[in-house]
Amino acid sequence: MNTDNTLLSTLGIEVIHASKDYVEATMPVDERTKQPFGLLHGGASVALAETVASLGGFLSIDQEQEICVGLEINANHIKGKRDGVVTAVGKPIHKGKKTAIWEVTIVDEKDDLICISRCTLAILPKK
């Protein structure tokens, strides 16, 4: 997967594992991903979560006939993070013909929960 000149490269997101049932990715907590008060930006966490969910959704569909796009995402930011790395793990909780729902947990190096997110994906026919 070429991530050059994408949001993934801008935020430093690295995919560790990707399959139709499990996706894991990391993201640094640094000047690219912090808000002005020095904490991990909630939007960066959401971008990481949607990246993980979308990749898993993409790997779950018939890529010759279908596309997969984000339809809705929510996130609960549980704990602040000032530096280091966060890891997102996504797993499907629903795989339908027209929608999929992925749950993504984001943790720090100590396995403390930083954010939990749920992303609904629309599965559409290619035009």
Active-site residue set: 50
Provide the sign of the torsion angle of the four alpha carbons 121, 117, 31, 16, taken in this order. Answer: negative
Distance, in Å, from the CA atom of 87 to the CA atom of 102, rounded to the nearest integer, reads 16
d(CA 20, CA 51): 14
Outline where the chain has alpha helix (H): 7-11, 42-60
Angle value at C-alpha 23, between 92 and 114, nearest 5 degrees: 90
∠ CA 40-42-45 to the nearest 5 degrees? 80
